[in-house]
Amino acid sequence: MDSEPHNPPVKGQNRAPRFPCPECSGASIVRTSVRISRTLRSIMYQCKDVECGMTWESHITYVRTLSPSGKPNPRFPPTTPLSRPPTETRPPGG
């Protein structure tokens, strides 16, 4: 279980999720983020351990609607969840 404390965002300030470094598991910081589309954001991270110094990119994306908006945007079509591939069915013993 992750022992890092939950830090809620400061009012009026968006905060990207914190991810540990994939190489050394050390703390990381967000260097920059870019909105790619209305449902996708790219975030660039840097490891805070100077001996590691790894940098990497992560994406935050829309997955599905849990509750539709009461104020839909008429300029855009409704956002629909990603479709899942059908489950594979195999005959018994096959």
Q: How high is the mean pLDDT in each 10-residue block of the chain (94 residues)? A: 43 68 95 91 95 95 82 71 58 64
Q: How many domains does the chain have?
A: 1
Q: What are the Cα distances from residue 23, in Å, to 27, 51, 52?
A: 11, 11, 8
Identify the pLDDT of residue 47: 96
Q: Note whether residue 37 is domain-resident.
A: yes
pTM over 0.75: no
**Whole-angstrom Cα distance, residue 39 to residue 65?**
12
Range of the structural domain that residue 56 is part of: 28-61
Q: What is the DSSP string of the chain?
A: ---SPP-PPPTT---PPP---TTT---EEEEEEEEEETTEEEEEEEES-TTT--EEEEEEE----SS--SS--TTSPPP-PPPPPPPP---TT-
Q: Note whether residue 13 is domain-resident.
A: no
Q: Note whether residue 32 is domain-resident.
A: yes
Q: Note whether residue 86 is domain-resident.
A: no
Q: Note whether residue 45 is domain-resident.
A: yes
Can you name the residues that pair with 32 across neighbouring β-strands? 44
Q: Note whether residue 38 is domain-resident.
A: yes
